Amino acid sequence: MAAGGLTRRARSASGVSIQCVIRTLCGCRAPAHVLSCPHVIDRQSPAFREQGLRAGGFLIVALVLLAGCKPQPAAPALERVPVPKQERLPAQEGRVSISGDDALAGVLSWTLPEVHVDSPSKARAAARRALAKGDLFETADSAIPLLLALQKAQPGNEQDAHLLEKAQAALLSQAWTALAEDEDLASLRYAQRHGTVLRTLWPAQPEVREYLDAVDRVGQAFELGMAGERAMRAGNLDAPGGALELFRKAQALWPAQARAQRGIAAVESALIVGAQAKAAAGDFNGAYLELARAERVRHDTQTIPAARERIEVLRADRIRRLGDEGLMALGDPGGLQVARERLAEMLSIALPGDAASVALRQRIDLVGHYGLFRPGQVFTDEMPDASRGPELSVLPRGGFLMGAAADEPDASADEQPRHRVDFERGFAMTRREITIGQFRRFVEATGYVPRATQRGHSMAYDARSGNFLRGSGIDWRSGYDGRPAADGMPVIHVTARDAEAYAAWLSEQTGVHYRLPSEAEFEYALRAGVQGRYPWGNGAPPAESENLAGGRDVSPQGRRWSNAFPGYGDGRWGPAPAGSFAPNAFGLYDMAGNVSEWVADCWHKGYRRAPANGAAWVNPGCRTRMYRGGSWASAPAQARSAWRMSGGVDVTNARVGFRLVRQL
C-alpha cells in the first residue's frame, strides 16, 4: 500500500474496513452496507484504467464522507438480491446527467456481459477471485456477470446469493469512493459508470436510488463549478448568474466539493484586488464599495480586515504625499491655491480629525508669517522636554542649473538634461548629517525597529579584504566597519524609510514639518551657488575641505584607494564625526563628503519632465530611491555635484546616511 493511498481492499489486516471506521464516527448517509463493504476500487480493474481514476487517500475519503454525515438510524440489512432479467431495465428516479460529451456514451451505457456456465464450481471460484480483486462488472469474467449467470443456472443457491450481495455492496463501495473524489473528472466518470450499472441491475433499491441521486448532484455541481470558473475568467464575479452564484449552487448541491469552495474564495480575492486598485488610484469610496461586495461573499474573519488595513495604508500614504505637496507649494508665490487644492483632496479622502490635514490647514493659515526667517539664519526647534532639535540653516530663495553639462567629464545620461530649477521661497536644512545620538533618541522614544535591525545584517567595510561585505549584527548603531560607533558619528546602515520615520517623529515633537530633502534641494544646497563640476569648482579639492577618498589616505591596515583624488588627504578612513570639516557657503557641513545621503525622490532615468520647482519627483509605492553627495569612500567621479545614485527601499550600507529639510 502506497503511503497515504487507498488499499485495493477496504479491510485492513485486522479485518476492520475504512468505511467501518467512518461509520463508527457518525451515522453517515452513505448506505450501511457500503460502509461495511470489504472492497473498494481496484486500481488495476479495466474500468479504472479506462477512466483514468486516481484514487485519493483515506483522509480525503473520510473527510468528504464525513462532510455529508448526519446521525440517523442504522440502515436495514439488504434483502436477497433477485436475479435480474438479462435485458436492460428502464431508468428509475436516479439520474446520471453530465451533458455535452460524446465520450459519455460509453460511460452512461452498459449491457450485462453474456456468460456461459459450463462448470458452476469453476464459475463460482472465478467469481470469488474477481470479487477479491474488485473486478465487478466490465467483462464476462467479472464477478457480477458470473454470479448472475450462476443464479440463472442454479436458482436458489444460497452461496451464490450471498456472493452476489457482497458484489453489490462492493460495487456501491467503489461507487461512493469514486464519488468522494469529485475534483477528478476521471473519478466522476468512473462514479457515473458505476451508477449506470447500478441503475441497470437494481434501480428500485433505496441504497441504489440514494447513490444515483448523489452522483447526479455531484455531476451537476461539477458542471456548475466549471461554469463558475468560466464566468471568473470573463470578469463576471458576483452579478446575477455570475461566478459566485454558480459556485454557491454547486456548493448547495454537494457541500464537500473543494472546487466550489476555492471558487468562492477566488471571487472574494478578485473583489479585494479590485478594491485595492481603486484605493491605489485614490478612489477610497469606490474601494470600500468593492470591499463591501467582497465581505458579502464569505464573511471571512481574516481576509477582509487585512484588506481594509492595506487600503488604510494606501490612504495614509496618499494623504502624506498630498500634505508634502501642499507644504512645498506654500514655498511658491502662487502656491497658496495649490496648497488649498491639495488640502481639499486630503479632506475628501481623510477621516475626520486627520492630523496631516489639520497640519496643512494650519500651515495655510500661517503662511503670512513666513517672513520671520531670513537667509543664512541658524536656529533650532524646541522639543517637548525643552531640549533642542537638530541645528538648521535657512537657505535663500533662488535658482540654479541642475544636472551635468553635456561636456562634463564622467557625466552620464542619467544626470541630464541640465535644466533650470527655481525656489521661490527659502527652506531650512539640518546643518549636519543626523547622528547616531539623535537617531538613538528617536528609537528609544518610539520603540521603532529600523530595517537593518529587523533583518540582522548590513553592508560594511571589511578591513581584511578591503571590500564592502554583508555582515551579521550590523545596524544603525554600527560604524563603517560594523563595530559600535560613537553618538557623534553620522548614522548609517539606515533606509530611506527609516529616515522618513525619524522625520515624522521629529515633526511630531516640534510641531513643524520635517522631511527628506528633494533631489533638487540637495543639489542646490550642495552647490551653494557654485556651478562647477565639483561643489568647490572644477579643480582638486581644497586642503581638508571634505572627507573624501584621497591619494594620501591610508587605512589602519595600510591600504590605499585605487581611485582617489591625487595628492589629497584628510586623515580619515571611514566617516568622521558630523561637522568635522568646514561648512559651505550656505552654512552646511559635509555636503560633498563624509557620507552620501538619502533624498525623497524615486528613481527616474534622466531629468526629462522633472519638476521645475524643486519638488520631489515621486511615484506612489516606488521601490527604488535616490541618494546624493559624495562619501568617505567615493571615487572622484562620485564626488561631482551632479552625481546621483539609486538604491532599493531596503538598502543599507556603510556609506549612506541622511539629513532633513524643515519646511518654513
State the CATH number of the domain containing residue 492.
3.90.1580.10
Average pLDDT of the residues of the chain:
83
In a 3-state reduction of DSSP, which class is residue 9? Answer: strand
Residues 505 and 410 in one domain: yes
For 253-286, letters b (16+ CB in 10 Å) and e give bbebbebbbebbebbbebbbebbbebbbebebee
Q: Is residue 504 part of a domain?
A: yes
Q: Is residue 264 part of a domain?
A: yes
pTM: 0.52
Q: Is residue 6 part of a domain?
A: no
Residues 603 and 650 in one domain: yes
Residue 259, pLDDT score = 83
All cell numbers assigned to 557: 591596515
Report whether pLDDT(630) > 60: yes
pLDDT per residue as tens digits for the range 155-175: 989 999 999 999 999 999 998
As beta bridge partners, residue 626 has 646
Residue 631, pLDDT score = 97
Residue 41, pLDDT score = 38
Residue 43, pLDDT score = 37
Average pLDDT over residues 319-348: 86
Residues 69 and 154 in one domain: yes
pLDDT per residue as tens digits for the range 10-65: 332 233 333 332 333 233 333 333 333 333 334 334 433 333 333 333 323 333 33
Q: Is residue 461 part of a domain?
A: no
Residues 277 and 132 in one domain: no
Residues 136 and 176 in one domain: yes
Residue 108, pLDDT score = 78
Of the pLDDT bands very low, low, confident and very high (cuts 50, 70, 90), residue 91 is very low
Backbone phi and psi for residue 478, each to the nearest 5 degrees, phi listed first: -100, 155
Give the structural domain span for 362. 313-371
Q: Is residue 116 part of a domain?
A: yes
Of the pLDDT bands very low, low, confident and very high (cuts 50, 70, 90), residue 105 is low
pLDDT per residue as tens digits for the range 615-627: 999 988 899 999 9
Q: Is residue 5 part of a domain?
A: no
Residue, of 662 and 334, whose pLDDT is higher: 662
Residues 59 and 108 in one domain: yes
Residues 191 and 55 in one domain: yes
CA distances from 55 to 2, 6, 219, 405 (A): 11, 7, 18, 72
pLDDT per residue as tens digits for the range 378-435: 999 999 999 999 999 999 889 999 999 999 999 999 999 999 999 988 899 999 999 9
Of the pLDDT bands very low, low, confident and very high (cuts 50, 70, 90), residue 183 is low
Q: Is residue 579 part of a domain?
A: yes
Report whether pLDDT(112) > 50: yes
CA distances from 413 to 264, 417, 610, 620 (A): 51, 8, 14, 24
Domain stops at, among 323, 341, 371? 371
- 466 contacts 559 by C-beta, under 8 angstroms: yes
The total number of structural domains that make up the chain: 4
Q: Is residue 210 part of a domain?
A: no
Note if the bond before 417 is cis, omega within 30 degrees.
Answer: yes
Of the pLDDT bands very low, low, confident and very high (cuts 50, 70, 90), residue 92 is very low
Domain stops at, among 239, 269, 300? 300
